[in-house]
């Protein structure tokens, strides 16, 4: 990122902010020397880096509130940050801002087995919640692939998904209450442990707000009874079209599997090479279909699913015999990213959602783009909910390759909008998809979203510059796009 | 120009005129929920001109509908393909519309097992108070592009915009269902419901009233059979069971139907939304309990402040649903920082304050 500020001005501002924070935090909780702030210069979208002005690592909620008040008084942007596993640059620092690391808030406050809830601090890792709930036969359902590292605060900020959200929903559907601070350090509560809260339902705004509306300190999540049994069907298909058709047919038959994932041939080969799961290397696509519940539920669902898969051209079907084999089936899918990392120095993971019926068409379009941009792409999908994760392989040391990769990514997102989809299914907009937001939303819609941000944060200090592109940026991006492929009311004069 | 475009143009025109003249608009579909929230006021803005199903693809589990479309029509179309709106929206009359359903945000007996109505809203096209036609969300299951405004519209009582079009996630109808009842007291019923939820019993609806606990089991055939044995009690014939749950959902059960004379005597119908493990609230008398203990209805003449503080003491809130006098406010008061955000949101969507003013809170 370009830094338009002169070094001298920046140094003066840094001194000012550090002095203000020194009244609030112990010395070792304030980082500002380059060697200390380097670790914070990016999240998991490493292609975008920016050194923050200062990093604050508070230890108590009172300190967080005081840091926010101080930053508010000085008009300093604040970028909250969890584990830094985000894939869209949502936690990319602001060159003149404070990166607020919430890593120290890692206490599980309470697991309530009778109410099936857990109250946890924002820095608790996703998987740690399920581990704490396990003795009660309960677990936290959303399971993003990074679940061993990512924190619940980040999950809430991004509305993270995972391979099981077809049946169990995204973060939003599993969070009851979020407690935190407004931009000026005032305590605020969204949602409740009751089924709803009075007034407008602001929880869907806060969940997925990418740190732009409030700073999240504590989250109460819903826990579910752990299913007694899970079994996975692995089905091979001779064409991607067939596999896409089978996905639609499973859903049409009234089956909502716990997971329904698709890998293309190249991804399967890369994964097999990495984990040796015994994938069918001759198949054009592999479908993983997981059924969970009690033994008799699973039996019933597996039989129905197999019938549908066979009727839709599955060439080979294998059912996991035991837990070990089920995990083996999943190992390649869960390791799709590191497996791709072995094929190429770098990869860019895209994340769009399209209507399921357009899967095959979309895959063909991506193949054509590989030729056009001269880069390879491997594909894994949360096929059940139409969420694509094409991984574009490139070399970041080659500026031209990086540029082509960015164009390739933007082309996938725009093709997704054209078929009635969206530019991000679960990774968020961050900085990565700002341009694509210009295509998906009209100027009035973006202005309304900006106004939503201002309603929460009138001074515009929480994670500014993310998610909602400015009018100017969109004008520069400036192609003439037909909004979402077709206007909802084509004859109407637009305002 | 087709019918829906001209209907939309008329609505836009009305909103712009109202904005210029600062005229309050009372947004109305089938007028079946006029009793809900604070009393409606202003000139009627009828959205039923926007009617019809725009697209429905069972394999995508998505239906997109114009806001004035009757709910009954949508449910019929879904049922023909073995699908449904799983949150069981109420029919407070035959003419309720999809727009009204989303604006009120009320879910029925299945709420505790399937989640709130807002979880099924995928996208909304709406007119804000400046007559701008805006679309938020979309037609796909997973979508985190920008702020999720469409889900805030669910339950917003029309104060942020006129809903024009809605995309909803739909689900397959469950293969099997069975309703049973047991005779146990309130505290025991609450404990039992919580225990079953923790064990993953396939309970899709529950009610407790006058010492009788009803539970509806639903899911795979084998699962329902197994749960039946676990629950015990006595079975209710399927047609009677369907009537039982729809009478509760639609407030046809006598507990919910306050007569004019009862209303005149100050009798009110309160809805308490509480954590499902909350202890019984003794002073309020006998409740009608739903949602595994999380939704508790009371008929009471007690002062609003007393009822609201009892609800918030257990971590919930109280809504004054039916009353002759709604001056205490239909909805529980907000904390100052939350009300501040509400005010600014209202101001940004509807700066002239013309859309359903006062319906949610007097100051909005």
Residue A341 CB burial class (10 angstroms; 0-12, 13-18, ≥19): middle
Look at residues B32, B66, B291 and name the one whose alpha carbon lies nearest to residue B168: B66
Residues of A within 8 A of B333 (CB-CB) are 198
The neighbour count for residue B193, using CB atoms within 10 Å, is 24
The per-residue pLDDT for B3 is 87
Residue of B nearest to A302 (CA): B220
pTM: 0.94
CA–CA distance, A375 with B146 (Å, rounded to integer): 29
Enumerate the residues of chain B whose CB falls inside 8 A of the CB of residue A488: 125, 133, 135, 165
Q: How far is B236 from chain A (nearest CA, A)?
A: 24
Least Cα distance to B211 among B281, B289, B279 occurs for B289
Residue A33 burial (CB < 10 Å; 0-12/13-18/19+)? exposed
Q: Which of B105, B59, B111 is nearest to B86 (CA)?
A: B111
Q: Measuring CA to CA, how many Å separate B97 from each of A124, B68, B80, B166, B357? A: 43, 5, 19, 11, 21
Output the six-digit token pair for A312: 């839709």
Q: What angle do CA A151, A131, A203 make, to 5 degrees?
A: 45
Pairwise CB contact (< 8 Å): B316 & A194: yes
Residue (of B182, B178, B183) closest to B203 by Cα position: B178
B20 touches chain A (CB under 8 A): no
Q: Tell me the torsion sign for CA atoms B299, B158, A161, A216.
A: negative
Q: Between chain A and chain B, how many beta carbons pairs sit less than 8 Å apart?
A: 278
Nearest to A208 among B133, B144, B295 (CB): B144
Q: Tell me whether residue A481 is exposed, middle or buried, using C-beta atoms within 10 angstroms of its C-beta: 0 to 12, 13 to 18, 19 or more.
A: middle
Q: Which residues pair with A215 in a beta bridge?
A: A181
Q: Which of A192, A355, A424 sits opposite B144 (nearest CB)?
A: A424
Burial class (CB within 10 angstroms; exposed 0-12, middle 13-18, buried 19+) of B144? buried
Residues 6+ apart with CB under 8 A from A312: A242, A245, A246, A249
Residues 6+ apart with CB under 8 A from A396: A46, A47, A345, A346, A402
Q: Is A479 left (phi over 0), alpha (psi -120 to 50) or beta?
A: beta
Please name the residue of chain A whose CA is at the shortest distance from the CA of residue B65: A488
Phi, psi for B245 (deg, rounded to 5): -70, -35
Q: Say which of A189, A194, A385 has its CB closest to residue B294.
A: A194
What phi and psi, each to the nearest 5 degrees, are found at residue B70? -60, 135
Q: Which residues contact B144 (CB under 8 A, 6 or more apart)?
A: A158, A159, A208, A422, A424, A425, A426, A427, A428, A429
Residue B108 is predicted with a pLDDT of: 98
What are φ and ψ of residue B237, in 5° steps?
A: -60, 145
- The answer to whether B341 and A455 have CB atoms below 8 angstroms apart is yes
CA distance B162 to A419: 27
Which residues from chain B sit within 8 angstroms of residue A116, using beta carbons?
A: 194, 197-198
Instruction: Identify the pLDDT of residue A4.
Output: 58
Tokens of A417: 């909008």
Q: Does B151 touch chain A (CB under 8 A)?
A: yes
- Return residues 154-213 of B near A (CB < 8 Å): 154-156, 159-160, 165, 171-173, 175, 194, 197-200
Within an 8 Å CB–CB cutoff, is residue B297 touching chain A? no
SS3 A57: coil
Return d(Cα A257, Cα A236) in angstroms, integer: 17
Confidence at residue A440, expressed as pLDDT on a 0 to 100 scale? 92
HSE-CB of A168 using CA atoms within 13 angstroms: 27
DSSP A427: S
Q: Which two tokens stand for residue A359?
A: 């899967």
Task: Name the residue in chain A with its Cα closest to that of B131.
Answer: A495
Residue B104 near chain A (CB below 8 Å): no
In 3-state terms chain B splits into helix, strand, coil percentages (rounded to 5) of 35, 25, 40
Chain-chain contact of B133 with A426 (C-beta, under 8 angstroms): no
Question: Residue B216 pairs with which residues in a beta bridge?
Answer: B179, B205
Give dist(CA A419, CA A434) in Å, integer: 19
The shortest C-alpha distance from B259 to chain A (Å) reads 27
DSSP state of A135: G
Cβ A172–B136 below 8 Å, yes or no? Answer: no
**Can you name the residues that pair with A189 across neighbouring β-strands?**
A179
State whether residue B49 sits within 8 Å of chain A by CB. no
Q: What is the CA radius of gyration of chain A?
A: 23
Of B116, B138, B220, the CB nearest to A195: B116
Closest by Cα among B182, B293, B172, B291 to B228? B182
Mean pLDDT for back-to-back runs of 10 residues, chain B (364 residues): 90 98 97 97 97 93 97 98 97 97 98 97 97 94 91 98 97 94 96 94 96 95 91 96 97 95 96 96 93 97 97 97 97 97 98 98 96
Check if the beta carbon of residue B132 is closer than 8 Å to that of residue B19. no
Task: Judge contact between A466 and A435, C-beta under 8 A.
Answer: no
Query: Which chain B residues are Cβ-neighbours of A448 within 8 angstroms?
Result: 128, 132, 134, 149, 348-349
Q: Which of A187, A213, A225 sits opposite B198 (nearest CB)?
A: A225
ipTM: 0.96
Contact yes or no for A196 and B273 at CB 8 A = yes
Closest residue of A to B349, CA-based? A448
Q: What angle do the packed helices A443-456 and B336-349 form, to 10 degrees?
A: 160
Q: CB distance from B5 to chain A under 8 Å? A: yes
CA-to-CA separations, B226 to A67, B62, B231, in angstroms, rounded: 55, 32, 9
DSSP per-residue letters across B252-294: -STTT---HHHHHTT-EEEEEE--TTPPP-GGG---EEEGGGT
- Residues B107, B84 contacting (CB under 8 angstroms): no
Q: Closest Cα to residue A222, out of B265, B255, B257, B119?
A: B119
Interface test with A, best of B114, B146, B203, B293 (most A CBs within 10 A): B146
Q: What's the CA gap between B178 and A411, in Å, rounded? A: 50
- The pair phi, psi for residue B44, each rounded to 5°, is -70, 130
pLDDT of res. A485: 40
DSSP string, B38-49: SPP-SEEEE-TT
Look at residues B162, B158, B97 and name the one whose alpha carbon lies nearest to residue B126: B162
Can you state the angle between helices A295-311 and B221-231, rounded to 10 degrees? 170
Q: Looking at CA atoms only, how far is residue B105 from chain A in angstroms?
A: 10
First-to-last alpha carbon distance for chain A, in angstroms, is 35
Does the beta-carbon distance from A488 to B198 stay under 8 Å?
A: no
**Residue-level pLDDT, tens digit, chain A, 495 residues:** 445 567 899 999 999 999 999 999 999 999 999 999 999 999 998 889 999 999 999 999 999 999 999 999 999 999 999 999 998 999 999 999 999 999 999 999 999 999 999 999 999 999 999 999 999 999 999 998 889 999 999 999 999 988 888 899 999 999 999 999 999 999 999 999 999 999 999 999 999 999 999 999 999 999 999 999 999 999 999 998 899 889 989 988 889 999 999 999 999 999 998 888 899 999 999 999 999 988 888 998 999 999 999 999 999 999 999 999 999 999 888 888 888 888 889 888 899 999 988 888 898 899 999 999 999 999 988 988 899 999 999 998 999 999 999 999 999 999 999 999 999 998 999 998 999 999 999 999 999 999 999 999 999 999 999 999 998 899 888 754 444 444 445 454 433
Residue of A137, A166, A195, A385 best to disrupt the B interface, most CBs of B under 10 A: A195
pLDDT (0 to 100) of residue A338: 83
């Amino acid at each position: 990122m370009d830094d338009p500020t002169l070094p001298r001005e920046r140094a003066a501002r840094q001194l000012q902010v550090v002095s203000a924070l020194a009244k609030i935090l112990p010395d070792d909780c304030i980082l500002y020397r380059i060697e200390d702030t380097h670790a914070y210069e990016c999240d998991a979208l490493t292609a975008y880096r920016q050194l923050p002005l200062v990093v604050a690592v508070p230890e108590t909620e009172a300190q967080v509130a005081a840091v926010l008040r101080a930053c508010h008084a000085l008009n300093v942007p604040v970028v909250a940050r969890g584990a830094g596993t985000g894939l869209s640059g949502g936690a990319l620092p602001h060159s003149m801002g404070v990166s607020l690391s919430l890593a120290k808030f890692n206490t599980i406050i309470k697991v309530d087995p009778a109410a099936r809830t857990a109250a946890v601090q924002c820095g608790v890792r996703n998987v740690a919640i399920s581990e704490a709930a396990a003795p009660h036969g309960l677990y936290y359902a959303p399971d993003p692939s990074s679940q061993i590292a990512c924190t619940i605060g980040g999950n809430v900020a991004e509305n993270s998904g995972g391979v099981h959200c077809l049946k169990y929903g995204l973060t939003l559907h599993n969070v009851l209450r979020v407690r935190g601070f407004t931009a000026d350090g005032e305590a605020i509560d969204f949602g409740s442990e009751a089924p709803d809260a009075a007034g407008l339902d602001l929880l869907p705004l806060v969940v997925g707000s990418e740190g732009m509306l409030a700073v999240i300190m504590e989250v109460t999540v819903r826990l579910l009874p752990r299913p007694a049994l899970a079994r996975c069907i692995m089905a091979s298909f001779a064409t991607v079209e067939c596999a896409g058709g089978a996905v639609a047919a499973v859903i049409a038959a009234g089956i909502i599997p716990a997971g329904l994932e698709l890998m293309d041939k190249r991804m399967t080969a890369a994964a097999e090479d990495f984990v040796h799961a015994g994938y069918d290397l001759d198949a054009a696509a592999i479908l993983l279909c997981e059924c969970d519940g009690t033994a008799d539920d699973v039996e019933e669902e597996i039989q129905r699913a197999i019938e549908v898969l066979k009727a839709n051209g599955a060439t080979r079907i294998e059912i996991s015999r035991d837990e070990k084999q089920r995990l083996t089936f999943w190992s390649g899918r869960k390791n799709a990213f590191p497996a791709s990392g072995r094929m190429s120095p770098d990869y860019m993971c895209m994340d769009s959602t399209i209507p399921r019926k357009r899967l095959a068409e979309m895959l063909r379009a991506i193949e054509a783009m590989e030729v056009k941009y001269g880069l390879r792409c491997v594909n894994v999908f949360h096929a059940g909910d139409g969420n694509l994760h094409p991984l574009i392989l490139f070399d970041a040391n080659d500026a031209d390759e990086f540029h082509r990769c960015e164009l390739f990514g933007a082309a996938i997102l725009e093709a997704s909008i054209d078929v009635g989809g969206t530019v991000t299914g679960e990774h968020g907009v961050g900085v990565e998809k700002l341009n694509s937001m210009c295509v998906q939303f009209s100027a009035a819609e973006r202005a309304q979203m900006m106004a939503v941000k201002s309603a929460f944060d009138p001074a515009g200090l929480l994670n500014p510059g993310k998610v909602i592109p400015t009018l100017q940026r969109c004008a520069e991006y400036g192609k003439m796009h037909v909004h979402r492929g077709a206007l909802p009311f084509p004859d109407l004069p637009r305002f | 120009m087709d019918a829906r475009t001209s209907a939309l143009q008329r609505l836009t025109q009305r909103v712009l005129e109202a904005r210029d003249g600062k005229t309050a608009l009372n947004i109305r579909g089938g007028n079946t929920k006029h009793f809900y929230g604070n009393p409606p006021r202003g000139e009627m803005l009828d959205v039923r001109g926007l009617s019809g199903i725009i697209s429905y693809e069972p394999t995508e589990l998505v239906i997109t509908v114009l806001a004035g479309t009757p709910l009954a029509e949508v449910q019929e179309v879904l049922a023909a393909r073995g699908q449904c709106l799983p949150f069981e929206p109420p029919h407070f009359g035959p003419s309720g519309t999809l727009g009204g359903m989303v604006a009120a945000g009320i879910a029925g007996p299945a709420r505790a097992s399937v989640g709130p109505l807002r979880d099924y809203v995928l996208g909304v096209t709406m007119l804000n108070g400046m007559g701008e036609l805006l679309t938020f969300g979309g037609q796909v299951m997973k979508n985190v592009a920008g702020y999720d405004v469409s889900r805030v519209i669910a339950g917003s009582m029309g104060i942020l915009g006129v809903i024009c079009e809605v995309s909803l996630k739909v689900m397959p109808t469950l293969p099997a269902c069975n309703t049973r009842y047991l005779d146990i007291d309130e505290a025991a019923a609450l404990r039992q419901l919580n225990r079953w939820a923790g064990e993953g019993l396939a309970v899709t609806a529950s009610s407790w009233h006058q010492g009788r606990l009803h539970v509806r089991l639903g899911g795979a055939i084998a699962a329902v059979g197994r749960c039946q044995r676990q629950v015990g009690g006595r079975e209710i014939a399927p047609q009677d069971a369907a009537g039982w749950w729809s009478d509760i959902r639609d407030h046809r059960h006598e507990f919910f139907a306050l007569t004019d004379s009862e209303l005149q005597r100050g009798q009110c119908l309160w809805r308490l939304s509480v954590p499902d493990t909350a202890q019984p609230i003794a002073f309020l008398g006998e409740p009608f309990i739903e949602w595994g203990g999380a939704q508790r209805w009371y008929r009471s003449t007690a002062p609003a402040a007393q009822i609201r503080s009892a609800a918030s003491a257990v971590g919930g809130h109280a809504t004054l649903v039916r009353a002759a006098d709604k001056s205490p406010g239909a909805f529980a008061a907000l904390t100052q920082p939350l009300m501040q955000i509400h005010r600014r949101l209202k101001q940004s969507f509807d700066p002239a304050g013309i859309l359903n003013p006062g319906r949610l809170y007097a100051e909005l």
